[in-house]
Structure 1
Amino acid sequence: MTINSSEGLATGFKMRAYHKENAMPTLSLRATVCLCLLFMSAGLCAEQLIAPDQTHFSYRGRIDFAEPAAPVMSWPATRIDAAFRGRSVALVLDDDSGRNFYSAFIDERWNEPVVLDLKPGKHTYPVANNLTGGEHRLTLVKRTEGEEGATRFLGLNLDDEAQMLAAPELPARRIEIYGDSITSGMGNMSPLEGEDGRLEDKNSFMSYGAITARALGADYRAISQSGIGIMVSWFDFTMPDFYDQLTAVGDNDSQWDFSLWTPQVVVINLLQNDSWLVEKRLNPVPTDEQRIQAYYDFIQRIHTRYPEALIVAALGSMDATREGSPWPGYIEAAVARFEQSHPQARLGTVFFPFTGYGQHPRVVHHKANAGRLTQYIKEQMDW
């Protein structure tokens, strides 16, 4: 189910067919009207607004809290959780671009997302009503990326008799992934023969990293951007320029404080875009030695920030891992060199095989890749 916005549901809101993590039946016009009437009859005009107080909400991701009453979300997979006792809940969001999509879930029913198709500016987005009167959990996740712009979270609308509960506890396990469109979930909700570029089909929540984190019960952050590389990107900045930003909207001067959150596992899944672009966009073309050194240098950046973390050098599952590709070898050489110069570092490699599928991985591929990564992390971390 996809919901646009409601400024008080008497003005109506648009709903359109969506897939239930790949297939969800189309709502009939009558069902849509009935659902609208249900929201209206729930008395959502008689609401209480719960402001973004951090005692009420659990936040996951690099979120800008410069304005505590309007925290800014920009990175894919940024997440907010809240617990409440009540019968209805809606989200108040202020979006820069009107190009962002979010998934909202009730009670961790991960196969039943309410997909929010945001409009520019401040709007209220209904998520659920006619809930049982007991305790419920709301989860909000950013599906899209920094290139779709930032969103300010302005709070929850609950029914008058509802009550906020203590903020859900954050997991002790923490995983961070530095990646490109694969990590962001570009096109992963599209059919196998569908196109890659539709915003509604980009879903970081169903990427291999997020699936792995859920399987391991871990907090998860995706520091990713479609088209980015280590040496070269489809635009004028690279991951070494981008990785330390607080906000993900383009190349900017914001600075993330790495002391605020320390992962035990860091995955680097980069070089796919480099494999396409080094010969096309770089002059002179980097030598094999320069490619190895560039990857080594990025490992160094991550190891400096997180000296105790397990660093997993990954690649795939697009054609950079095809049979005969030199790019996994560059990574292996960089890892071996780093292990020699930093004997106390914890490193490993995981390569997701290229299956011959020529587009961005779909959910079925992400699930297979997550299975491989989950098993590796379990073995290395004893999780």
Structure 2
Amino acid sequence: MKFKYNWLLVAFCAVYVSCAPLKKKTGDSNSLPATALQPYGRFVINQDQNLEMVSSAMHFGFSFKGKQCQLFASIPNAGGHNYLQYELDGVYQKRIKVATTSNDPILITAPTEGNHTVWIYKATEAHTGPIIIQKITGDNLKSLREDKGPLIEFIGNSITCGAAADPSEVPCGSGQYHDQHNAYMAYGPRVAKALGARFVLSSVSGIGVYRNWNSNGPTMPEVYEKVDFQARNPTRWDFKMFTPQVVSIALGTNDLSQGDGKKERLPFDSASYVSTYVTFVQVVKSKYPKAQIALLSSPMINGKNREKLQNCLTAVKTAIDAASPSDKPVALHFFQPMRARGCSGHPNVEDHGILAQELLPFFRQLVK
């Protein structure tokens, strides 16, 4: 089963200079600069004071009056492309391809006149490269803040990214890896929306706890503190930007995988997996001391490996609970096995809906 660790060599033209809170520049009512937006998820404000959307499903909202507004978006890698997706008045619309071949703004059109709300999401993951937002133009523009409520951080791999889930525009087996990404429809955002919660995704395709899909690293514990999950990037994420009530971690599919069949792959080392996982959870807890930690298994693993993963996660919980007896006990959820229908053995959009429904009772007990 191929859960690809998509190391794209992106030639960044923009320079990462800050991931600090935005200095609000409101402009006038007909132009909303990037610095006036209120982003959720991992982002960077570059030297041009533009917003770089980094992580999966990173999002921001705004309102406008009339029938149309214009979103000025670009990508730094020449000849490449990326994807946004958006809601209009609370209803999901579609994915939008962002390429370097056009300088025209993205037009967002409403069916009627009046006041409208828009939420823009990054459809792809951090390793696909950033999408740069310069400004929005239109009438009576206002930046939106999400309603106050519990925040869930979903840490995981390609499944959490919503990778390979949506072949509706580019069929499986064609195009590039991120052409079938749909982070908005992944299980995490769907669980959060159903519970009236907010969310951020910290996920990378092919990544694992102590080894990846087809490599020994860098693994999630090695890149989690980097703003874009790239080991070589010196810029670290500011964990004071968001304070999740629940941190969900779903890692293990790639540790247990057989790899790409080309590189040497040693048998799964349960001791290394458990010890590294325990250390990683302790790092997460140091960032969010009051957060409830939830560990998820994998719907893609069946048979003996499924039992092996569940035993390992139980061992992680036991170790963390013993080390922090005054904290909330670690919560566990073991997925029911799934025969995934997306590309390269991943869940598709409909499968993510099934996963979200399975998870709702579990997260409902954790989110207050």
TM (norm. structure 2) is: 0.81
- The answer as to 2:135 corresponding to 1:135 is no
2:271 aligns to what?
Answer: 289
Tell me how far 1:70 sits from its aligned partner: 0.3
1:179 aligns to what?
Answer: 156
Check conservation: 1:182, 1:226, Cα contact below 8 A.
yes
Tell me how far 1:344 sits from its aligned partner: 2.0
Provide the C-alpha distance between the structure 1 equivalents of 2:140 and 2:31, rounded to a whole number of angstroms.
11
Q: How does 1:337-352 map to 2 (within 5 A)?
A: 337-346=319-328, 347-352=330-335
Q: How does 1:268-307 map to 2 (within 5 A)?
A: 268-276=249-257, 287-307=269-289
Letter in structure 2 aligned against 1:145: E
Q: Which has the larger radius of gyration?
A: 1
2:337 aligns to what?
Answer: 354
Check conservation: 1:177, 1:266, Cα contact below 8 A.
yes
CA 1:121–1:306: 2 relative to 1, 3 Å: farther
Check conservation: 2:84, 2:97, Cα contact below 8 A.
yes
Which shows bigger deviation, 92-101 or 165-174?
165-174
Tell me how far 1:62 sits from its aligned partner: 1.2
- Once the two structures are superposed, what CA deviation does each residue of 1:179-206 show, in whole Å capped at 9, x if it has no partner? 0000001111237xx6366533210100
Tell me how far 1:324 sits from its aligned partner: 5.1
Check conservation: 2:340, 2:348, Cα contact below 8 A.
no
How many corresponding residue pairs? 327
Which of 190, 206, 210 aligns to 1:231? It is 210
Check conservation: 1:278, 1:286, Cα contact below 8 A.
no
- The answer as to 2:197 corresponding to 1:215 is no
Provide the C-alpha distance between the structure 1 equivalents of 2:185 and 2:61, rounded to a whole number of angstroms.
17
CA 1:92–1:279: 2 relative to 1, 3 Å: closer
Check conservation: 2:256, 2:268, Cα contact below 8 A.
no
Check conservation: 1:77, 1:141, Cα contact below 8 A.
yes
Which of 157, 161, 166 aligns to 1:189? It is 166
CA 1:129–1:290: 2 relative to 1, 3 Å: closer
Provide the C-alpha distance between the structure 2 equivalents of 1:125 and 1:143, rounded to a whole number of angstroms.
18
- The answer as to 2:97 corresponding to 1:117 is yes
- Match of 2:45, SS state, is coil
2:85 aligns to what?
Answer: 103
- The answer as to 2:32 corresponding to 1:50 is yes
1:372 aligns to what?
Answer: 358
- The answer as to 2:185 corresponding to 1:206 is yes
Show structure 1 runs of 5+ residues with no match. Answer: 1-46
1:19 aligns to what?
Answer: none
- Match of 1:302, SS state, is helix
TM (norm. structure 1) is: 0.78
Which shows bigger deviation, 245-254 or 294-303?
245-254
Check conservation: 1:188, 1:362, Cα contact below 8 A.
yes
1:317 aligns to what?
Answer: 299
1:152 aligns to what?
Answer: 132
Tell me how far 1:285 sits from its aligned partner: 5.4
Tell me how far 1:286 sits from its aligned partner: 6.1
Check conservation: 1:145, 1:248, Cα contact below 8 A.
no
CA 1:353–1:87: 2 relative to 1, 3 Å: same
1:265 aligns to what?
Answer: 246
Which shows bigger deviation, 207-216 or 117-126?
117-126
Show structure 2 runs of 5+ residues with no match. Answer: 1-28
